[in-house]
A and B are shown apart, each in its own frame.
Chain A
């Protein structure tokens, strides 16, 4: 809470040193004095003699009734943070400090020292003759680092060959150390010396100037302070000063407080608001060539508009620019890991392809070189086939477009994109099934029975599909889809119910329910069975009515089997995402999944969520079945195409149980599966290699340490805990 403006009483605690030190402290004091005078505020000042006194001094001001306290220097930050917590009615303004996020009554004044340093560096680069410039730093704190970082980068901009020699005084108040540092730098050949070291630095540039090298001051215009308006010998060697308008910043902050506008957090000052910059050239003006002055103006403008960046971070660290470093700052590893897993799997797959190709073996008989060449050929052929089998041949697609635009005949184009449509068609049930398992994982359930639920969903949808007759499609199709969903949901809810009520593990129960589902299908579809096609000698169901068909995208070309099921699947991704992250139902599912005990303690019914999550999961698996019936085969054979049970687990793992992740994983699997057929046909690589690839991908995703080891990646600091499933019994 901020004190109301009319009861403001301002206090100032200096950094170690006096308020007439000619730098930093004096500047801040002047800013405060000006604000106090203008706004008619009472002001107290305490000058700090040693860093141990900060806390005591600030406390004294609080006791004296100060409600707005200015402290100088990042070293006062910790003391302020401690006291700020205990005195919420006092507001603190700290020069050179980034407040903790929770400190609502601390305002830090932060300057773009890097910009001022950058300009100083640019100027130094243009003025140096020997190609060596010196930097005197005080204490290794962020503002000094920012001056230094900017100085270096600015120098590099105007003078690529120049180098920086540096010295630290380890104190802002040790003139002797400053003089020594300056001496050392000049000895090392520096002919421009920039010092950012408080009083030590002022002494340093005075000493350096006397030795006849160019110097650059800091914080204030040192022409006025250090060189006493040019009266001190050597003043003509002062090029300029990298100014940091502490006075203006303190004034601005106090004024904001008076206006009741000061908030906790950071106030930043840079070139655009005149918070930092270069002072005038004074006596050196004549010695600075006009093109140098022009260049400095240009750089200033560049920095102001953002065209030039100092490449110095908020704590004085070097920032790498460009795409790659920004990518690294992002949580790239989470996205990179699955890609690396896929890449690694493809490489190992390549080895397999080569190793099991008899031609390769034969070629190695003719020498290593021939062998390797043949191996390369074999691999390239296989993967080209895989690619063309899943996306289609680019050349053919272009040709298809050309023909289409010329003759408006889409036949060739459709044939060319056939592989792509087939990949998407195969991916569709994968999306449903992957979502099913992922949703279970989110609730801490391992639904290993997607296969059985797929069967039951298929049975239910085919029944509705053939038994209802004479209803319009917009009723029949949703009913059939709904039946598939309901069938799957019912089947899995049995396992959910048993888990919730008895603690029986869902892994065992869903596996067992799979077998029951197979045999149920056998029974229902057997010749003469309740759902058998009358008069057929095969155990198949009747054909469904066309009103229950999932409409195909290209009805004129029935061989292109892609259908509206894909849209339903995409919608399911959206719905599940919404359900999981935007609704109370999803909140409960996620809470139960991550910690059922805590969820229960918080009043969430764990049993209800187990049943519900299991039912939704099964419903999704049922939709996979419904898609294959209503969209692809249009009847139900008892040896129903499948394999979704285990693939769906892989998909959920690969997609990290996130709906969008599952979608991407399902597309990948769809493409691999579709491509595999062509790979087999064209490159004579067994289709099973795709299973091997899928297996490898899963291994690498599930064991990220292996991938990290392979690519020398460091483990992220906090690995998000992925909870997939729990053990036996009730929680």
Chain B
């Protein structure tokens, strides 16, 4: 029997990059095929070709042994190919049924939407595959994990049997990830085939039947969890050996650097998203804040760095009350801030690397005298930083926008770590980075800790928080539900706390 899907020699070039270079890929029936690769390896381009969003320059696609011409998503759907995008394509103000029907509305009496029969079909699908969802619920009211189910139901409703899931776990809690895996397994058991795109090694090992690794637009190899290890996969992805575990000695906490008391902060829409948070971070330790994105971490960090007004409560840094101090005062107190969205908050993309490296020190000697920039010193210092932090850039005058994500992050790290700092507030410091860059950034953070810097690490990546922190604070709905010593915390426990299971007893009960 021919494979369900076969890609032969797919090649796609964008100006300056060969995003896909003669990629071959086969998907067997009832297979979970993981497509693994770093950002920019060409995974998404390949899938967008398969889904008809791009036309390949070369290469052919065969569906069940027959050559398929896929020019737009409608062709893909007609071939039974469906895709769940990383960012959901749902209309929040419509119900689940309406969202699922969108585009393939069933109609009664010629003009009226037939919601009832559609809802019935959705119920049947959700029972069949274990995709629990209320067809009449409004999408905006659903948790992210359930929204993802709606996306999958959309595909099944259109009778897709080749499902492409693009980074499906990026937005999920560990428990939701487990749920998703169950669903995926049940899909495969009932005859569907799945392409699972990710850059997370653990997930690949847990779910995939076969794994194809892409690097720089080429297939590096195809293997299976039985034949390989995480280390080997990482090496395939990056092209060299990678340290997956963070190496660090025990913390030697000293004096308190950051002290937060009863902090309350509102988000842009006026909702109270940080609801009375108190904690301390001491010199020489990493306090990790775990939590699913959107539980107040963003606002917390903004309040600490002076970017968002504090409603109530106090922020003390090195004994000084910096509640509602302007950002510059906070920075000048020795606080380094690695913002969660590096392109939006951390860098001025259109400015050169050199300027970005002095974005918060340009006005100080030796970079400026009497309001005049000392361009020579700025450039010389930039050259030095570029070497020291191994920033891969054609020159220090290259605008940051043309650097890769990892190198962009290194620019921020180089800037923040090169100042005399006492407190490092790092928000999702490795978001969207490849394995190699993650390793690098983690090493640098641990170095800072060992130099006696207090570190507040905020990240929705549980592995990251568990690996780097000395203590773990779990945030849920604007509150810190618990602070655990990292060496005693288990992933399950933290995962459950992240999901809002509050008391210790509940946690142990659920685990038991």
Contacts and interface: CB of A to CB of B under 8 A. Distances in A.
- Does B bind A? yes
Interface stretch (A110-118, A367-375, A595-603): A595-603
Nearest to A104: B387
Contacts of A605: 326, 328
Contact of A584 (B15, B350, B371): B371
B328 A594 contact: no
B125 interface: no
Contact of A102 (B307, B348, B392): B392
Given A102-B386, A717-B16, A583 B371 contact: yes
Given A584-B363, A603-B327, A598 B346 contact: yes
Contacts of B331: 602-603
A597 B345 contact: yes
B346 A601 contact: yes
B349 A595 contact: yes
A720 B398 CA distance: 11
Interface in A584-643: 584-587, 590-591, 594-595, 597-605
Nearest to B306: A603
A289 B253 CA distance: 86
Interface string B338-353: 0100001111111100
A585 B305 CA distance: 23
Contacts of B372: 582-584
B345 A591 contact: no
B458 to A, nearest CB: 15
Nearest to B337: A601
A599 B326 CA distance: 13
Between B327, B331, B391, the greatest number of chain A beta carbons within 10 A of the residue's beta carbon is seen for B327
B348 A82 contact: no
B152 to A, nearest CB: 35
Interface residues of B, number: 42
A597 B344 contact: yes
A718 interface: yes
B360 interface: yes
Contacts of A721: 349-350, 401
Contacts of B349: 594-595, 721
B18 interface: no
A715 interface: yes
Contacts of B399: 718, 720
A723 interface: yes
B348 A594 contact: yes
B375 interface: yes
Contacts of A584: 362-363, 368, 371-373
A333 to B, nearest CB: 13
Interface residues of A, number: 31
Contacts of B359: 591, 598-599, 602
Contacts of A595: 344, 347-350
B129 to A, nearest CB: 42
In terms of DSSP, what is the predominant structure of the interface of chain B?
loop
Nearest to B327: A603
A93 B68 CA distance: 51
Contacts of A101: 394-395
A559 to B, nearest CB: 44
Contacts of B307: 600-601
Interface in A264-287: none
A85 interface: yes
A715 B16 CA distance: 12
Given A601-B305, A601-B346, A594 B371 contact: no
B327 A598 contact: no
Nearest to A590: B351
Interface string A94-126: 000000111010000000000000000000000
Interface in A650-680: none
Given A583-B373, A715-B15, A723-B350, A102 B390 contact: yes
B510 interface: no
Contacts of A601: 305, 307, 327, 337, 339, 345-346
A450 B351 CA distance: 27
Contacts of B401: 718, 721
A441 to B, nearest CB: 13
A729 to B, nearest CB: 10
Interface in A313-332: none
Contact of A598 (B240, B345, B391): B345
Contacts of B392: 100, 102
A83 to B, nearest CB: 10
A603 B347 CA distance: 13
Between A583, A584, A721, the greatest number of chain B beta carbons within 10 A of the residue's beta carbon is seen for A584
Interface in B399-418: 399, 401-402
Interface in A700-731: 715, 717-718, 720-721, 723
B355 interface: yes
A700 B90 CA distance: 38
Interface string A251-265: 000000000000000
B390 A587 contact: no
A598 B339 CA distance: 9
Between A82, A100, A594, the greatest number of chain B beta carbons within 10 A of the residue's beta carbon is seen for A594
Contacts of A104: 387
Contact of A599 (B348, B363, B393): B348
Interface in B372-386: 372-373, 375, 386
Contacts of A85: 390
Nearest to B398: A718
Contacts of B330: 603
A448 to B, nearest CB: 23
B328 A582 contact: no
A603 B350 contact: no
Nearest to A715: B15
A85 B391 CA distance: 12
Between A587, A717, A723, the greatest number of chain B beta carbons within 10 A of the residue's beta carbon is seen for A587
Nearest to A587: B362
Interface string B232-271: 0000000010000000000000000000000000000000
Between A583, A595, A603, A717, the greatest number of chain B beta carbons within 10 A of the residue's beta carbon is seen for A603
A594 B351 contact: yes
A602 B350 contact: no
A599 B359 CA distance: 7
A101 B349 CA distance: 22
Contacts of A586: 373
Contacts of B386: 102
Contacts of B348: 590-591, 594-595, 598-599
B231 to A, nearest CB: 17
A582 B394 contact: no
Interface string B103-147: 000000000000000000000000000000000000000000000
B351 A591 contact: yes
B401 to A, nearest CB: 7
Nearest to A592: B348
Contacts of A597: 344-345
Contacts of A723: 350
Contacts of B16: 717
A594 B350 contact: yes
B351 A582 contact: no
Contacts of B327: 600-603
Between B330, B350, B390, B395, the greatest number of chain A beta carbons within 10 A of the residue's beta carbon is seen for B350
A584 B358 CA distance: 11
A598 B344 CA distance: 6
Between A85, A587, A594, A602, the greatest number of chain B beta carbons within 10 A of the residue's beta carbon is seen for A602
The 3 closest A-B pairs by CB, nearest first: A603-B328, A602-B360, A602-B359
Given A101-B394, A584-B368, A603-B331, 20 more contacts: A102-B387, A582-B372, A583-B371, A587-B355, A587-B363, A590-B348, A591-B359, A594-B349, A594-B350, A598-B347, A598-B359, A599-B348, A600-B327, A601-B305, A601-B327, A603-B328, A604-B328, A718-B399, A718-B401, A721-B350
16 contacts: A101-B394, A102-B391, A102-B392, A584-B371, A587-B362, A590-B348, A591-B359, A598-B344, A600-B307, A601-B305, A602-B360, A605-B326, A605-B328, A718-B399, A718-B402, A721-B350
